Amino acid sequence: MSVLKIGVVEDELVIARTILNTLDELGYAQCGPAINYTEAIEMLEQNRPDLLLLDIQLSGKKDGIDVAQKLNELYHIPFIFLTANSDGETIDRAKKVRPNAYIVKPFTKEELFAAIEIAFSNFTGNHPNSKTEQGSAYHTKDYMFVRDGYVFRKIFFSELLYLESDANYVTLHLKSQRKVMVRSTFNDFISHLDQKTFIRIHRSYSVNVSLVDDVFPTEVTVSGIRIPTGKSYREDLLKALGINET
In a domain, 246, yes or no: no
pLDDT tens-digit profile of 159-198? Answer: 999 999 987 788 999 999 998 888 778 887 888 788 889 9
Task: For residue 76, give the CATH number of its domain.
Answer: 3.40.50.2300
> Residue 151 — very low, low, confident or very high, per pLDDT cuts 50/70/90?
low
- The confidence score (pLDDT) of residue 148 equals 65
Measure the CA–CA gap between 134 and 138, rounded to whole angstroms. 9
In a domain, 19, yes or no: yes
Is the per-residue pLDDT at 51 higher than 80? Answer: yes
Choose one of 62, 93, 126: the last residue of a domain.
126
> Helix (H, G, I), strand (E, B), or coil: what is residue 50?
coil
- The confidence score (pLDDT) of residue 189 equals 83
Q: Judge whether 12 and 56 are in contact, CB under 8 Å.
A: no
Average pLDDT over residues 124-149: 54
Q: Among residues of the chain, what percentage have pLDDT more than 70?
A: 89
**The whole model's pTM is what?**
0.53
Is the per-residue pLDDT at 5 higher than 80? Answer: yes
> Helix (H, G, I), strand (E, B), or coil: what is residue 166?
strand
Alpha helices (runs of H) in the chain, residue ranges in sequence order: 13-25, 37-47, 64-70, 88-96, 109-126, 131-134, 186-191, 231-241
Average pLDDT over residues 46-64: 92
The residue segments making up the domain with residue 11 are 5-126
How many independent structural domains does the chain possess?
2
